[in-house]
């Protein structure tokens, strides 16, 4: 019985890993990738085009307010701030006129890049952690925690039973 529970928990834990991975991939393909393209764009029109796709995805998926955190809130997990930053950047890009000087356009693109990307040891797109599974962060955390811990406990109990310790 312990072996059956150990295997069942392990399977559910592996499914959890798979579901989280798919959610991360979907968020990257439908939003984060477009944010990166907007940050890398050499023209205001190209940046606006890609940023529009990301903002539309955020709106369609309810990524406009709330926090991704479960236990306590920190500023880096504020979806509302992230979304407002995206929409403010898009508004600024749309305000650029054909007669806007090239230096101003370049400054706008540089500002956009600084807004969308985090600079550290490596460059990454600025987005709250856990946003790919929002608003179900607590459900995913409990799923992973319970199946991971219970799987380890049942494997341990089975090992003790089989090993005779």
For the segment 1-25, what is each residue's pLDDT rounded down to a tens digit?
Answer: 999 999 999 999 999 999 999 999 9
Is residue 165 scored above 80 in pLDDT?
no
Average pLDDT over residues 127-145: 97
Average pLDDT over residues 148-155: 97
Q: Between these two residues, 145 and 123, which has the higher pLDDT value?
A: 145
Q: Between these two residues, 165 and 36, which has the higher pLDDT value?
A: 36
Q: Within 10 A of 8 (CB to CB), how many other CB atoms are there?
A: 14
% of the chain residues with pLDDT over 90: 94
% of the chain residues with pLDDT over 70: 99
Is residue 119 scored above 90 in pLDDT?
no
For residues 22 and 98, what is the distance between their CA atoms, to the nearest angstrom? 41
Q: Between these two residues, 91 and 119, which has the higher pLDDT value?
A: 91
What is the model's pLDDT at position 164?
64
Q: Which helix (H) or strand (E) holds 57?
A: helix 44-60
Is residue 121 scored above 90 in pLDDT?
no
Helix (H, G, I), strand (E, B) or coil at 163: helix
Cα 100–Cα 104–Cα 110 angle in degrees, nearest 5: 135
For residues 140 and 72, what is the distance between their CA atoms, to the nearest angstrom? 16
Helices 33-40, 44-60: crossing angle, 10 deg rounding: 160
Is residue 136 scored above 90 in pLDDT?
yes
What is the model's pLDDT at position 127?
96
Q: Domain residues of the chain, as ranges?
A: 2-163
Average pLDDT over residues 54-74: 96
What is the model's pLDDT at position 5?
97
Q: Is the dihedral of CA 39, 41, 45, 51 positive or negative?
A: negative
Q: Between these two residues, 62 and 119, which has the higher pLDDT value?
A: 62
């Amino acid at each position: 019985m312990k072996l059956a529970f150990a295997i069942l928990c392990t399977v559910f834990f592996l499914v959890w890993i798979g579901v989280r991975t798919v959610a991360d991939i979907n968020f990257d393909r439908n939003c984060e990738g477009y944010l990166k393209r907007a940050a890398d764009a050499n023209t205001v029109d190209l940046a606006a085009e890609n940023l529009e796709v990301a903002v539309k995805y955020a709106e369609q998926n309810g990524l406009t307010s709330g926090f991704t955190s479960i236990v306590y809130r920190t500023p880096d997990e504020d979806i509302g701030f992230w979304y407002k930053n995206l929409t403010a950047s898009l508004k600024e890009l749309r305000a650029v006129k054909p007669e806007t000087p090239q230096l101003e356009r370049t400054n706008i693109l540089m500002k956009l890049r600084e807004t969308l990307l985090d600079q550290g040891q490596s460059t990454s797109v600025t987005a709250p952690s856990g946003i790919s599974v929002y608003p179900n962060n607590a459900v995913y955390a409990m799923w992973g925690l319970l199946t991971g811990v219970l799987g380890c406990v049942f494997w341990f109990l089975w090992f003790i039973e089989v090993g005779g310790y």
